[in-house]
Structure 1
Amino acid sequence: MGVPFFQVRDELKRLNVKVFSSNYELYADMSARMRAVIESMVSRSECYSIDELFVDTSGMRGSLEDLGHQIKARVYKCTGLPVGVGIGTTKTLAKLASYSAKRWHKSTGGVLDLCDPDRRNRALQHIDVGDVWGVGRRLNEKLNMLGIGKAWDLAQYDAWSIRKMFNVTLEKTVRELRGISCIDLEEVTAPKQVICTSRMFGQRQYSFSDVAESVASYTARAAEKLRAQQSLCLVMRVGIQTSMHCLPEDRYSNGAIVNLPYPTDDTRVLVQYALYGLKHIYREGYGYAKSEILLMDLRQRGEYSMNLFQPEQSASADRLMSTMDSINRKFGKGTLRPARITAAPGWSMRRQLMSQSYTTRLDQLWCVS
C-alpha cells in the first residue's frame, strides 16, 4: 500500500497482476449510478463518500436484512458493482456491520444486521477497536494502553472518562457502540471548510513556467469547487515539492500562505495571487513532482459580515464566473479557461494504464459482439 508502481512493476508482472491507472470520471459516474439505485429504494440518505451511503430505514416494513439483500442484488444488476450492507441502530454500528459483512462474507452473504443487542455484543467482542469508525492508528495505540483492544471494550468503558481523557467525539462513539444514536443523518452535505486540489506530475518539471501552469490549473479547479458550494475564499496556500524518492540533496518542499484582498471566488484573482505565492517559494535546479492549492478561511455567500472598509467582489465578476461555469458545463470542462492553462500540458498526470470511460464517452462504449 502506497509503494510507487515503478518499485514493484517487475513483481506485479511476474504475478500477472492487472494494473489500472485512476479514472476519476468513471468512478464518479458509477458512484452516481449506485447512489441513484439505492436512493430509489429508501426515503432518506446521506452520501458519505464516493463509495458509501448511509440510509434511514425508519418506518420501513419487513425484514431489514431482506431489504439489505434486495439493495445488494439491485445495485449489482443495475451497475455490476458488488456492495456490502451493514445495518445498525446508529451510524457507527452500521459502519461496523458493513465492515463485518465483508469480512465474514461466507456466513453473512455481504449483509449483516446488528440491531439485535445480543448479535451486536457478540460482533463487538470480535472486532478490533482500531476498526471502529473514527479510531485512527494513534488513537488505537492510546486505547490499547488503557486495555481497550476490542470494540466491546470501548463500548463498556465509562463514557465520561473517555470524554475527559480524549474528546466529545470519542464519547459519542462509545454511546453509539451501545446503540444510542448521537450522530444524525446529514441529508444536505455541509460546505467544505477547506478545498484542496493537488496531483502528482506525469514527469519531473524543471521550469518555472510549467510549474506555474500546473498551479494555475489547480487553482481554476479549486475555484470551480468553491463556486459550486457557494463559498468565497479569503486565504490560500500554494505548495510545491520534489519526489520523496529523490536523493536527500535533491529534495525540496515549501509552501506559502497568501492573504487575498477580499473574499472571492473569481478564478482570475485566485490565479493571480497563487502565482504570486509560487514566485516566493520556487527554487531553480530542482525537478518538481507535485504542486498543491489549498483554499482556506472560506465564507458562505450571504452568511458572513462584511467589513465596511474592506472591498468586495464586483457584480460583473460574479456574472463572468457564472457564465464561464455555464459554458464549461455545456461544452465540457476546460472549454473556457485562463490563458495561462494549455489544453494538453506536459505536466499532466501519467495514466498510461487507464481503463476506458465506458459510461460517459460515446467513443469508449463497451462493445459486445
Structure 2
Amino acid sequence: MSMIGLVDCNSFYVSCERVLQPRLRGLPVGVMSNNDGCVIALSNELKALGITMGTPAFELQHLVRQGRIHLLSSNYELYGDMSQRVQSVLEEFAPAVEPYSIDEMFVRFDGFAHEQLLEHARQLHQKVRQFTGIPVCVGVAPTRTLAKLANRAAKKIPAYQGVCVLKADSLETRGLLQRIELGDVWGIGRRLVERLALMGIKSAWDLAQANPKEIRRRFSVTLERTALELRGVPCIEMNDFDEARKRIMTSRSFGKLTDDINEIREAIRQHGQRGAEKLRRQNGLAKAVMVFLKTNPFRQDLHQYSPSLVLELPRPTADSREILHTAGQALERIYRKGYLYQKGGVMLLDLIDADRQQLSLLDTPQSDAERQRSAKLMSAMDALNQRMGRDTVKLGMPSPGAAWHLRCAHRTPRYTTRWEEIFTLHS
C-alpha cells in the first residue's frame, strides 16, 4: 500500500539561524519580515513570552535593547539553501519528494509494512537532524490530508517523539480525528467551519463520517475530497514537483517609498534576472513579460497609482538580456512622475517547454548560431552564479543604498551561498 508522509521543519527560519549560530539555541529568537517590519517566525522561547506572529518589530525594540530577545532580518538565501539540503536527505529515503513550501515536503513511501514504515520514518527524522541540523516532525498516512493531521499529532503530542504513522481504519486514527477540530483540517477555513457546524459537523471525525455526495452537493467537490481523504481514500494526487510552472513572478516591496526612475529600473532589472534564472531552471521559454508598480494603498495622504503592462517578447526566450530589454520598455511606458512607489515586480507569461518550441511566422527570426550563443552565455552565467554565489555575474550594477533594497539591518551572514560571507576562523 502506498503511504504519504509530510515532513515539516520546526520553526524553520529560526532553526536555520541556530544551525550556524549555536549561541542562539535556547534563547527567544524571532525572524522579521521583509524590511524588518514584523515578526514572521518565532522560537518556542519567544512564544512563551506571549509574543505572537505578526507583532510589529518596533513594539519589541525595548526587549531587544534589554537583551531579553533576539530579532533577526530575513535571510531567504540561507533558508532556501537549507531547504534544498533537507530535500536532498529526504530523497535518500523516498522515491518521490514534493516540496509543498520552503519548510514542508510531501514524500511517498511504497511497499513498507507498518512496523517497517514506522522505523523508516524514525530514521528519516533522525537523519535530517543529523545531516542538516534542522529539527523536523514526520507524519505518515494513506492520504495527504491524513498525513497533515499525523504531522500535527507528531508535533503536538510528546508521546510520538516527532514521528506519527497512521492507518486509515485504526482506533488510533479515529481517536485523533474525534479530537481534532474542523478548523485544524487542511484546507478548511473559518467560514466553512461555521457552515458545517450548522449541520452538526464539528470535528474531523464528523466530516469523515458524513455522506460525501451530500457534502459535494451542499458545498464543493474539494470538500468532498477532503472528507474522503479523512477516511483514508486518496483523492489528492501528489504533484510532480518538476512540473513546469505556468507563470513566474518575482516581486518585493521596496525598502522605502521612492519616485526615482533609476532606482525602480534597477529593481525591475533585478526581478527580471531572477525570473529568467527560474525559467531556465525549468527549461522553459517565455512569450511575454508583465511589469507592475504599486503605491502604498494605506497612505491615503499620497496619490495612488498601480499600473501594469504586458508586452510580448520578440520570440519565446529565456535569455535575460531580451527579457530585461522588454521589461525596461514596459517600465518606461507605465512609470509616472509624482508618485511614491512601494513595490514593483516582473511576471513571465505564456511559458512553454524549450524542447517543444514551435516558432510562429510572427516571431522575430533567430539563426541557429544566435540561439546557440544565447544558450551558451546564459548557461555560463548560471553556472558561475551557482558555483561562486548569486549575483557573481549579473546584468547592470545596482546603486548602493538604493531605495528598492530591502532593509536588513539584522540579517545574519549567508554562510552557505556567498563566498565573501563564509565562516572565518581566527587564531
Q: Which residue of 2 aligns with 1:234?
A: 287
- 8 A Cα contact 1:262 1:311, kept in partner: yes
1:306, 1:324 → 2: CA distance? 26
Query: Which runs of 5 or more residues in structure 1 are unaligned?
Result: none
1:6, 1:20 → 2: CA distance? 13
75-84 vs 343-352, greater mean Cα deviation: 343-352
Q: Which residue of 2 aligns with 1:298?
A: 351
1:167, 1:303 → 2: CA distance? 36
Q: Which residue of 1 aligns with 2:86?
A: 34
1:220–1:153 CA distance, 2 compared to 1 (3 A): same
Q: Which residue of 1 aligns with 2:411?
A: 354
Read off the aligned partner of 1:365 and give its amino acid letter: F
Q: Which residue of 2 aligns with 1:182?
A: 235
Candidates 136, 151, 170, aligned match of 1:98: 151
SS at 1:249 equivalent: coil
1:309–1:357 CA distance, 2 compared to 1 (3 A): closer
1:233, 1:259 → 2: CA distance? 9
1:138, 1:237 → 2: CA distance? 34
Q: Give the alignment's TM-score, normalised by structure 2.
A: 0.76
Q: Give the alignment's TM-score, normalised by structure 1.
A: 0.86
- 8 A Cα contact 2:168 2:232, kept in partner: no
Matched, 1:56 2:112: no
Q: Which residue of 1 aligns with 2:135?
A: 82
Matched, 1:217 2:273: no
Deviations 1:10-37 (A, max 9, x none): 4665693311111122212222222233
Matched, 1:288 2:344: no
Q: CA RMSD of the aligned region, Å? A: 3.0
Q: Which residue of 2 aligns with 1:329?
A: 386
1:28, 1:188 → 2: CA distance? 16
1:11, 1:141 → 2: CA distance? 39
Read off the aligned partner of 1:364 and give its amino acid letter: I
Q: Which residue of 2 aligns with 1:19?
A: 71
Q: Which residue of 1 aligns with 2:327?
A: 274
Q: Which residue of 2 aligns with 1:208?
A: 261
SS at 2:229 equivalent: helix
Deviations 1:325-346 (A, max 9, x none): 234334433233223x427462
118-127 vs 207-216, greater mean Cα deviation: 118-127
1:312–1:321 CA distance, 2 compared to 1 (3 A): farther
> Following superposition of structure 1 onto structure 2, how do residues 105-124 of structure 1 map, counting pairs within 5 Å?
106-115=158-167, 117=169, 118-124=171-177
180-189 vs 226-235, greater mean Cα deviation: 180-189
SS at 2:94 equivalent: coil
Q: Which residue of 1 aligns with 2:28?
A: none
1:144, 1:296 → 2: CA distance? 42
176-185 vs 53-62, greater mean Cα deviation: 53-62
Deviation at 1:367, TM superposition (A): 5.9
- 8 A Cα contact 2:72 2:411, kept in partner: yes
1:138, 1:344 → 2: CA distance? 47
2:181, 2:365 → 1: CA distance? 52
Deviations 1:87-111 (A, max 9, x none): 111122111111222122x232222
| Count of residue correspondences | 367
SS at 2:179 equivalent: coil
Q: Which residue of 2 aligns with 1:342?
A: 398
> Following superposition of structure 1 onto structure 2, how do residues 125-144 of structure 1 map, counting pairs within 5 Å?
125-137=178-190, 139-144=192-197
233-242 vs 182-191, greater mean Cα deviation: 182-191
Q: Which residue of 2 aligns with 1:365?
A: 423
2:248, 2:359 → 1: CA distance? 22
- 8 A Cα contact 1:242 1:287, kept in partner: yes
- 8 A Cα contact 1:236 1:295, kept in partner: yes
1:280, 1:319 → 2: CA distance? 32
SS at 1:239 equivalent: strand
- 8 A Cα contact 1:237 1:255, kept in partner: yes
1:38, 1:166 → 2: CA distance? 36
Deviations 1:100-143 (A, max 9, x none): 22122x23222222215222222122222232223345554554
Matched, 1:149 2:202: yes
Deviation at 1:304, TM superposition (A): 5.6
1:264–1:43 CA distance, 2 compared to 1 (3 A): closer
- 8 A Cα contact 1:89 1:115, kept in partner: yes
- 8 A Cα contact 2:287 2:349, kept in partner: yes
Candidates 343, 346, 360, aligned match of 1:307: 360
SS at 2:315 equivalent: strand
- 8 A Cα contact 1:85 1:101, kept in partner: yes
